[in-house]
Protein backbone atom coordinates (compact mmCIF):
# COMPACT_ATOMS: atom_id res chain seq x y z
CA UNK A 1 0.00 0.00 0.00
CA UNK A 2 1.30 3.46 -0.89
CA UNK A 3 2.35 5.59 2.10
CA UNK A 4 0.00 8.47 2.92
CA UNK A 5 2.25 11.13 4.50
CA UNK A 6 -0.46 13.80 4.28
CA UNK A 7 -3.31 11.85 5.86
CA UNK A 8 -5.29 14.22 8.11
CA UNK A 9 -3.80 17.32 6.46
CA UNK A 10 -5.92 19.91 4.66
CA UNK A 11 -4.40 21.53 1.58
CA UNK A 12 -5.70 24.50 -0.38
CA UNK A 13 -4.32 25.05 -3.88
CA UNK A 14 -4.91 27.75 -6.50
CA UNK A 15 -4.33 27.00 -10.18
CA UNK A 16 -4.74 28.40 -13.66
CA UNK A 17 -5.13 31.96 -14.91
CA UNK A 18 -7.77 34.46 -13.88
CA UNK A 19 -10.12 36.15 -16.32
CA UNK A 20 -10.83 39.84 -15.74
CA UNK A 21 -13.85 41.06 -17.72
CA UNK A 22 -13.82 44.27 -19.75
CA UNK A 23 -17.39 43.93 -20.98
CA UNK A 24 -19.78 40.96 -21.36
CA UNK A 25 -17.75 39.44 -24.21
CA UNK A 26 -14.15 40.51 -23.61
CA UNK A 27 -11.58 40.18 -20.92
CA UNK A 28 -7.93 40.02 -19.88
CA UNK A 29 -6.29 36.69 -19.12
CA UNK A 30 -2.97 34.86 -19.62
CA UNK A 31 -1.56 31.58 -20.93
CA UNK A 32 -1.44 29.64 -17.67
CA UNK A 33 -2.70 26.10 -18.37
CA UNK A 34 -3.20 25.12 -14.73
CA UNK A 35 -1.30 21.86 -15.31
CA UNK A 36 1.23 22.30 -12.49
CA UNK A 37 -1.45 23.15 -9.92
CA UNK A 38 -3.68 20.27 -10.99
CA UNK A 39 -0.70 17.89 -10.82
CA UNK A 40 0.05 19.10 -7.29
CA UNK A 41 -3.60 18.63 -6.30
CA UNK A 42 -3.49 15.07 -7.65
CA UNK A 43 -0.21 14.29 -5.87
CA UNK A 44 -1.52 15.73 -2.61
CA UNK A 45 -4.71 13.65 -2.80
CA UNK A 46 -2.62 10.53 -3.56
CA UNK A 47 -0.63 11.34 -0.41
CA UNK A 48 -3.83 11.26 1.61
CA UNK A 49 -4.50 15.00 1.99
CA UNK A 50 -7.94 16.58 2.01
CA UNK A 51 -7.51 18.81 -1.06
CA UNK A 52 -9.46 21.86 -2.21
CA UNK A 53 -8.49 23.30 -5.58
CA UNK A 54 -9.61 26.81 -6.50
CA UNK A 55 -9.27 26.96 -10.27
CA UNK A 56 -9.46 29.77 -12.78
CA UNK A 57 -10.73 29.02 -16.29
CA UNK A 58 -8.80 25.93 -17.47
CA UNK A 59 -9.48 22.92 -19.68
CA UNK A 60 -8.48 20.16 -17.28
CA UNK A 61 -10.37 17.39 -15.54
CA UNK A 62 -10.57 17.39 -11.78
CA UNK A 63 -8.13 14.93 -10.18
CA UNK A 64 -9.67 12.08 -8.23
CA UNK A 65 -10.70 12.86 -4.63
CA UNK A 66 -10.13 16.61 -5.09
CA UNK A 67 -12.77 19.20 -4.22
CA UNK A 68 -12.81 21.84 -6.95
CA UNK A 69 -14.14 25.40 -6.89
CA UNK A 70 -14.24 27.19 -10.25
CA UNK A 71 -13.74 30.94 -10.39
CA UNK A 72 -13.12 33.54 -13.07
CA UNK A 73 -11.63 36.65 -11.49
CA UNK A 74 -8.81 37.32 -9.03
CA UNK A 75 -11.32 38.76 -6.58
CA UNK A 76 -13.46 35.61 -6.73
CA UNK A 77 -10.31 33.51 -6.22
CA UNK A 78 -9.29 35.74 -3.30
CA UNK A 79 -12.73 35.56 -1.64
CA UNK A 80 -12.95 31.76 -1.89
CA UNK A 81 -9.38 31.30 -0.66
CA UNK A 82 -9.81 33.68 2.30
CA UNK A 83 -12.96 31.84 3.41
CA UNK A 84 -11.18 28.48 3.41
CA UNK A 85 -7.61 29.38 4.37
CA UNK A 86 -7.99 29.61 8.17
CA UNK A 87 -8.73 25.88 8.51
CA UNK A 88 -5.90 24.66 6.27
CA UNK A 89 -2.51 23.11 7.07
CA UNK A 90 -0.94 24.32 3.82
CA UNK A 91 -1.69 26.73 1.00
CA UNK A 92 0.00 26.29 -2.39
CA UNK A 93 -0.42 29.22 -4.79
CA UNK A 94 0.27 28.11 -8.34
CA UNK A 95 -2.31 30.36 -10.01
CA UNK A 96 -1.14 33.03 -12.46
CA UNK A 97 -3.31 35.74 -10.96
CA UNK A 98 -3.79 38.86 -13.08
CA UNK A 99 -1.98 41.72 -11.37
CA UNK A 100 -4.54 44.25 -12.63
CA UNK A 101 -8.16 44.26 -13.72
CA UNK A 102 -10.20 46.79 -15.66
CA UNK A 103 -11.38 49.35 -13.12
CA UNK A 104 -14.95 49.03 -14.37
CA UNK A 105 -16.81 46.22 -16.08
CA UNK A 106 -18.95 47.68 -18.87
CA UNK A 107 -22.50 46.37 -18.69
CA UNK A 108 -22.85 46.33 -22.48
CA UNK A 109 -20.43 45.36 -25.22
CA UNK A 110 -18.14 48.26 -26.12
CA UNK A 111 -19.03 49.43 -29.61
CA UNK A 112 -16.84 50.90 -32.32
CA UNK A 113 -17.77 54.55 -32.72
CA UNK A 114 -19.68 55.16 -36.00
CA UNK A 115 -17.01 56.34 -38.40
CA UNK A 116 -15.10 56.77 -35.21
CA UNK A 117 -11.47 57.42 -34.69
CA UNK A 118 -10.78 56.85 -31.03
CA UNK A 119 -10.02 53.46 -29.50
CA UNK A 120 -11.15 53.13 -25.90
CA UNK A 121 -8.70 53.50 -23.05
CA UNK A 122 -9.15 50.85 -20.37
CA UNK A 123 -8.36 52.11 -16.88
CA UNK A 124 -6.85 49.39 -14.70
CA UNK A 125 -6.79 48.83 -10.97
CA UNK A 126 -4.68 46.47 -8.83
CA UNK A 127 -5.89 43.01 -7.82
CA UNK A 128 -5.38 41.63 -4.31
CA UNK A 129 -2.24 39.53 -3.72
CA UNK A 130 -3.89 36.31 -2.56
CA UNK A 131 -0.72 34.62 -1.36
CA UNK A 132 0.43 37.63 0.66
CA UNK A 133 -3.05 37.91 2.17
CA UNK A 134 -3.02 34.27 3.32
CA UNK A 135 0.55 34.58 4.62
CA UNK A 136 -0.57 37.62 6.61
CA UNK A 137 -3.32 35.77 8.49
CA UNK A 138 -2.95 35.58 12.27
CA UNK A 139 -2.17 31.86 12.22
CA UNK A 140 -1.44 31.13 8.55
CA UNK A 141 -1.23 27.71 6.90
CA UNK A 142 2.23 26.72 5.63
CA UNK A 143 2.43 28.86 2.47
CA UNK A 144 4.13 27.85 -0.77
CA UNK A 145 4.52 30.36 -3.61
CA UNK A 146 5.61 29.98 -7.21
CA UNK A 147 7.89 32.33 -9.09
CA UNK A 148 8.55 32.70 -12.79
CA UNK A 149 11.58 34.93 -13.23
CA UNK A 150 13.35 35.82 -16.45
CA UNK A 151 16.74 36.51 -14.84
CA UNK A 152 18.67 36.09 -11.55
CA UNK A 153 16.20 33.35 -10.74
CA UNK A 154 17.24 32.29 -7.25
CA UNK A 155 17.96 35.80 -6.05
CA UNK A 156 14.68 37.25 -7.29
CA UNK A 157 12.66 34.26 -6.12
CA UNK A 158 14.14 34.41 -2.63
CA UNK A 159 13.47 38.16 -2.47
CA UNK A 160 9.85 37.40 -3.43
CA UNK A 161 9.66 34.74 -0.73
CA UNK A 162 10.74 37.24 1.93
CA UNK A 163 8.56 40.04 0.58
CA UNK A 164 5.45 37.88 0.69
CA UNK A 165 6.37 36.50 4.11
CA UNK A 166 6.23 32.82 3.08
CA UNK A 167 8.50 29.93 4.16
CA UNK A 168 8.91 28.23 0.75
CA UNK A 169 9.02 29.43 -2.84
CA UNK A 170 9.26 27.28 -5.95
CA UNK A 171 10.97 28.86 -8.94
CA UNK A 172 10.30 27.65 -12.47
CA UNK A 173 13.66 26.92 -14.09
CA UNK A 174 12.70 28.20 -17.58
CA UNK A 175 12.14 28.05 -20.50
CA UNK A 176 8.55 29.23 -20.27
CA UNK A 177 6.51 26.35 -18.92
CA UNK A 178 3.04 27.54 -19.93
CA UNK A 179 1.10 24.63 -21.37
CA UNK A 180 4.05 22.22 -21.33
CA UNK A 181 3.84 18.83 -19.67
CA UNK A 182 7.29 19.07 -18.15
CA UNK A 183 9.11 21.55 -15.97
CA UNK A 184 12.18 21.92 -13.74
CA UNK A 185 11.92 23.49 -10.31
CA UNK A 186 14.11 25.15 -7.72
CA UNK A 187 12.83 24.99 -4.12
CA UNK A 188 14.05 27.83 -1.91
CA UNK A 189 13.46 28.14 1.81
CA UNK A 190 15.30 29.52 4.85
CA UNK A 191 17.60 26.46 4.88
CA UNK A 192 18.73 26.78 1.28
CA UNK A 193 17.94 25.46 -2.18
CA UNK A 194 17.08 22.17 -3.78
CA UNK A 195 16.73 21.57 -7.50
CA UNK A 196 14.15 19.16 -8.90
CA UNK A 197 15.53 18.38 -12.39
CA UNK A 198 13.39 18.47 -15.52
CA UNK A 199 10.62 15.90 -15.44
CA UNK A 200 6.94 15.62 -16.20
CA UNK A 201 4.76 17.84 -14.01
CA UNK A 202 3.17 14.93 -12.11
CA UNK A 203 6.57 13.51 -11.06
CA UNK A 204 7.66 16.97 -9.94
CA UNK A 205 4.39 17.45 -8.08
CA UNK A 206 4.94 14.17 -6.21
CA UNK A 207 8.46 15.25 -5.22
CA UNK A 208 7.18 18.63 -4.09
CA UNK A 209 4.50 16.95 -1.98
CA UNK A 210 7.21 14.75 -0.39
CA UNK A 211 9.15 17.91 0.48
CA UNK A 212 6.01 19.55 1.84
CA UNK A 213 5.12 16.57 4.01
CA UNK A 214 8.53 16.84 5.72
CA UNK A 215 7.65 20.42 6.63
CA UNK A 216 4.11 19.94 7.97
List residues near ligand C5P by CB under 6 A. Answer: 14, 74, 93-95, 97, 127-131, 145-147, 160
Which residues, listed in sequence order, are joined to residue 55 by a DSSP beta bridge?
A: 15, 70
SS3 53: strand
Q: What is the DSSP string of 158-169?
A: HHHHHHHT-SEE
Report whether 201 belongs to an annotated binding site: no
In whole angstroms, how close is the CB of 157 to ligand C5P at the nearest point? 9
Report whether 131 belongs to an annotated binding site: yes
**φ, ψ of residue 142 in degrees (nearest 5):** -65, 120
Report whether 214 belongs to an annotated binding site: no
| Residue with smaller CB distance to ligand C5P, 110 or 137 | 137
In whole angstroms, how close is the CB of 143 to ligand C5P at the nearest point? 9
| Residue with smaller CB distance to ligand C5P, 14 or 80 | 14
Cα angle 92-46-52, degrees, rounded to a multiple of 5: 40
Rounded Cα gap, residues 63 and 5, in angstroms: 18
| Residue with smaller CB distance to ligand C5P, 38 or 146 | 146
In whole angstroms, how close is the CB of 135 to ligand C5P at the nearest point? 9
Known catalytic residue at 30: yes
Contacts of 120 (CB under 8 A, 6+ apart): 110
Binding-site residues for CTP: 99, 109, 128-131, 146, 160, 164
Q: Where in the sequence numbering do the catalytic residues fall?
A: 30
Amino acid sequence: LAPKPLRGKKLLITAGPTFEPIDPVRGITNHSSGKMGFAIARAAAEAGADVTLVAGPVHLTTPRDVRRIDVQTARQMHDNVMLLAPGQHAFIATAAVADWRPAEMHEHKLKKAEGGVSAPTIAMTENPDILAAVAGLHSPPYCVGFAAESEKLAEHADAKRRRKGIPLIVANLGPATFGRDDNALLLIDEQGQRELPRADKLSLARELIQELSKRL
